[in-house]
């Protein structure tokens, strides 16, 4: 049977737990994230997972792997919410990726410009060769991810936002192997590994595999009720801490991500 209560904002500091910096979330988790845990954060479109992870990143010692926004865009959002901006170790994969795309497009445009100046006879002579390739050696983003998380300091939060990017570039088995290796390293460092993934996009089987690999699973959902929407955070899994399973309503306001009510599964 479930019971609904207001969340007590008084969070007892517990040895071996890593605080998220969001008091009510730490209260929901009864102290924070256990050291060494890998947490999968599944978010449906519109659930504002990107705001939650930025707010956690503003809490302290964090390595932030960003694939969807640049470092500057993240800092701009933090400033808009008036959060403190600590010394974050950014791994800006999005900047590398989009820079490569722009460079490739510039080369392609340059080739078209060169060909437009050729005479008809010259065009006929090179026509059989098709367009010269503009492809350069692509970055191995999984290798970047693995290397930049290998030597992270102990008891540090690692945020991967998001896994969607890597799944668009590599097959699922390669991504799973890399994540498992990072999980093992995080366990050794007693840190908190937070992996963001869009819910319902990569197939139910892959989601189940990620949930099985994870020590904890948090899920953000948006539910329409009449003409309004309600947001819910579910703690679906917390290995060895079944008492923490529950659901909480949340809102996004001028201060960021705010939990309101909690329902425990008793």
Which residues contact residue 17 at a Cβ distance below 8 angstroms, ignoring those fewer than 6 apart?
Answer: 29, 31, 32, 33, 34, 35
DSSP state of 243: G
Strand partners, 159: 64, 194
Sheet of 89-92, strand order: 2-6, 256-265, 246-253, 228-238, 216-225, 38-43, 192-198, 157-161, 62-66, 89-92
How does pLDDT run across 121-141, given as a tens digit for each residue?
565 565 555 444 433 447 899
Contact 89, 62 (CB under 8 A): yes
What total number of domains does the chain contain? 1
**Count of Cβ atoms closer than 10 Å to residue 221 Cβ:** 16
Lowest mean pLDDT among 116-125, 132-141, 176-185, 244-253: 116-125
And the tokens for 82?
């008036």
Distance in angstroms (rounded) separating the CA atoms of residues 253 and 258: 7
The whole-number pLDDT of residue 101 equals 79
Q: What is the pTM of this model?
A: 0.83
Q: Per-residue pLDDT averaged across 235-261, rounded? A: 90
Distance in angstroms (rounded) separating the CA atoms of residues 91 and 148: 8
How does pLDDT run across 85-99, given as a tens digit for each residue?
988 999 999 999 988
Distance in angstroms (rounded) separating the CA atoms of residues 199 and 256: 22
And the tokens for 52?
């939650």
Rg (CA), the chain: 22
Range of the domain at 23: 2-265
Burial of residue 165 (number of CB atoms within 10 Å: 0-12, 13-18, 19+) = buried
Distance in angstroms (rounded) separating the CA atoms of residues 179 and 33: 18
Q: What is the CATH number of the domain that holds 207?
A: 3.40.50.300
Answer whether residue 58 shows pLDDT above 70: yes
Answer whether residue 61 shows pLDDT above 50: yes
Confidence of residue 5 (pLDDT cuts 50, 70, 90): very low
Distance in angstroms (rounded) separating the CA atoms of residues 17 and 23: 13
DSSP assignment of 50-113 equals HHHHHHHHTTSSEEEEESSS-HHHHHHHHHHTT------EEEEHHHHHHHHHHHHHHHHHHHHH
And the tokens for 98?
């989009």
Distance in angstroms (rounded) separating the CA atoms of residues 27 and 19: 10
Contact 190, 156 (CB under 8 A): no
């Amino acid at each position: 049977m479930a019971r609904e209560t207001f969340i007590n904002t008084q969070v007892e500091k517990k040895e071996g737990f890593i605080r998220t910096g969001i008091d009510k979330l730490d209260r929901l988790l009864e102290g924070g994230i256990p050291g060494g845990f890998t947490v999968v954060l599944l978010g449906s479109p519109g659930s504002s997972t990107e705001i939650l992870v930025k707010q956690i990143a503003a809490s302290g010692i964090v390595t932030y792997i960003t694939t969807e926004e640049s470092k500057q865009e993240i800092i701009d959002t933090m400033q808009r919410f008036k959060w403190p901006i600590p010394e974050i170790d950014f791994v800006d994969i999005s900047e590398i990726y989009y820079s490569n795309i722009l460079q490739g497009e510039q080369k392609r445009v340059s080739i078209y410009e060169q060909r437009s100046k050729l005479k008809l006879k010259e065009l006929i002579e090179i026509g059989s060769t098709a367009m010269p390739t503009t492809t350069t050696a692509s970055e191995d983003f999984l290798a970047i991810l693995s290397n930049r998380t290998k030597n992270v300091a102990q008891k540090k939060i690692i945020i991967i936002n998001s896994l969607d990017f890597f799944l668009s570039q590599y097959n699922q088995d390669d991504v799973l192997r890399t994540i498992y290796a990072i999980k093992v390293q995080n366990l050794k460092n007693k840190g908190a590994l937070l992996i963001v993934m869009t819910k319902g996009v990569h197939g139910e089987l892959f989601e189940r595999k990620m949930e099985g690999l994870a020590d904890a699973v948090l899920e953000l959902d948006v539910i329409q009720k009449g003409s309004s929407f309600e947001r819910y955070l579910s703690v679906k899994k917390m290995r060895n801490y079944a008492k923490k399973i529950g659901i909480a309503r949340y809102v996004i306001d001028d201060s960021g991500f705010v939990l309101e009510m909690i329902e425990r599964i008793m």
